[in-house]
Structure 1
Amino acid sequence: MEKLQSAEQFTNLANAEDVIFMFTAGWCPDCRVIEPIMPEIEKKFSDYRFISVDRDEFIDLCIEKDIYGIPSFIGFRDGEEQGRFVSRDRKTQGEIESFISNLWK
């Protein structure tokens, strides 16, 4: 999964592509649990670009986007947020896939 390099890149990607941002942190145990399943999810949903956003590196962006729990996901299309899966709960592969499947229906 690609890593976000700048807040400007976040805006550019959100405005130009079907993109799913995954907010995470190196110290987050729930993030580590889903890390091994993300390549399979990315392959299954290859129409979308997946970008990892480090919560600690982009704390201002997280505050702006109301991301207070990780791991969390936000999907964008044409600059508009299409959906979010934001909570402090551990997420399963099925829950993540269901969220993505229902983004652009």
Structure 2
Amino acid sequence: MKKLESKAQFDQAKQENSVFLFSANWCPDCRFLDPFMPEIEKTFNEFDFYYIDRDEHLEIAQEMNIFGIPSFVAYRENEETGRYVGKERKTPEQVTAFLETV
């Protein structure tokens, strides 16, 4: 998973097939994702996955109306194709089911 470094990188990544994970280091429900996300990334390799630290990129989170973390937003060619937003802990099955719809 690539770590988002700038708004410009975010704008560029939206032009492609990308999944953004809004997260934070201090968030236990976000850290719950760490063990299984590499396998999910391999399964859904048509997407580039980006980690967006919500605290470092608060303006992007606000622009995207992301207030609960962990949250996922998927894009294909600059069009949002789905979001899985909320502050609850997400299981591998839930993340997979979401990605199968985008």
TM-score bin, normalised by smaller chain:
over 0.9
Question: What residue in structure 2 maps to residue 14 of structure 1?
Answer: 14
Cα distance in 1, alignment partners of residues 49 and 87 from structure 2: 20
Percent identity of equivalent pairs: 45
SS in 1 for 2:32: helix
**Between Structure 1 and Structure 2, how many residues are aligned?**
102
Q: Structure 1: any 5+ residue segments left out of the alignment?
A: none
* Matching residue's letter, 1:25: A
Higher relative helix content: 1
TM-score, normalised via structure 2 length: 0.98
* Matching residue's letter, 1:75: A
TM-score, normalised via structure 1 length: 0.95
Tell me how far 1:74 sits from its aligned partner: 0.2
Q: Deviations over 1:1-55 (max 9, x none)?
A: 110010111011101x100000010000001111111001001111111000000
Cα distance in 2, alignment partners of residues 66 and 77 from structure 1: 19
Q: CA RMSD in A?
A: 0.6
Tell me how far 1:85 sits from its aligned partner: 0.1
Structure 1 runs (4+) greater than 2 angstroms displaced: none
Q: Structure 2: any 5+ residue segments left out of the alignment?
A: none
Tell me how far 1:88 sits from its aligned partner: 1.0
Cα distance in 2, alignment partners of residues 24 and 90 from structure 1: 12
Cα distance in 2, alignment partners of residues 71 and 18 from structure 1: 20
